[in-house]
Structure 1
Amino acid sequence: MNTLLRPRDGRIIAGVCAGLAQRFGLKPWTVRILFLLSCLLPGPQFIAYVVMWIIIPGEQQRPVTA
């Protein structure tokens, strides 16, 4: 399995859903829809998203070789 990183490409807000989708082999839109549906339930979804945004490292830019 891949490590958990927020990708540079394919992110909409912070890349948390895209990173989770990449890590678990899902499509990013599937994770985004599941997150939005979970927001209909009571709980700390937005706080968890912000915490993951802070904790999950962003993907490093790859050096360009000539």
Structure 2
Amino acid sequence: MTIHSDAVTEPTRSFARSKSDSIVGGVCGGIAEYFDWDVNLVRALTVVGAFVSFGTVALVYLAALMLLPQE
């Protein structure tokens, strides 16, 4: 007995740095593409977060820059 599914599957999204929306390394552009957000909003939140968190967000950004693959 075989079961057929008529459900339409969405293409899988990968979490990667963006080539098209890249200023420093494409991390914010990759986050914006993955979550379908405005890239300028992600950049602004990253800068504000870096100041508010006393640099912790900047360290997370650098880790993502080193660990995430390029699109």
Task: Give me the TM-score of the superposition, normalised by structure 1.
Answer: 0.80
- Tell me how large the CA RMSD over aligned residues is: 1.3
4+ residue runs over 4 A deviation: none
**Structure with higher RCO (Cα < 8 A, 6+ apart):** 1
Distance in 1 (CA, whole Å) between partners of 2:38 and 2:13 is 14
- The code of the aligned residue for 1:51 comes to A
Q: Does 1:37 align with 2:41?
A: no
1:63 corresponding residue in structure 2: none
- The code of the aligned residue for 1:33 comes to A
Give the count of matched residue pairs.
59
Q: Is the 8 A contact 1:16 1:53 kept in 2?
A: yes
Shift of 1:40: 2.2
Provide Cα deviations, 1:21-53, integer angstroms capped at 9, x if missing partner. Answer: 000010110100111111221341111011000
Q: Is the 8 A contact 1:2 1:22 kept in 2?
A: no
Task: Among all aligned residue pairs of Structure 1 and Structure 2, give the percentage whose two residues are the same amino acid.
Answer: 24
2:8 corresponding residue in structure 1: none
Q: Does 1:5 align with 2:16?
A: yes
Structure 2: where are the runs of 5+ without partners?
Answer: 1-11
Q: Does 1:28 align with 2:39?
A: yes
Structure 1: where are the runs of 5+ without partners?
Answer: 60-66
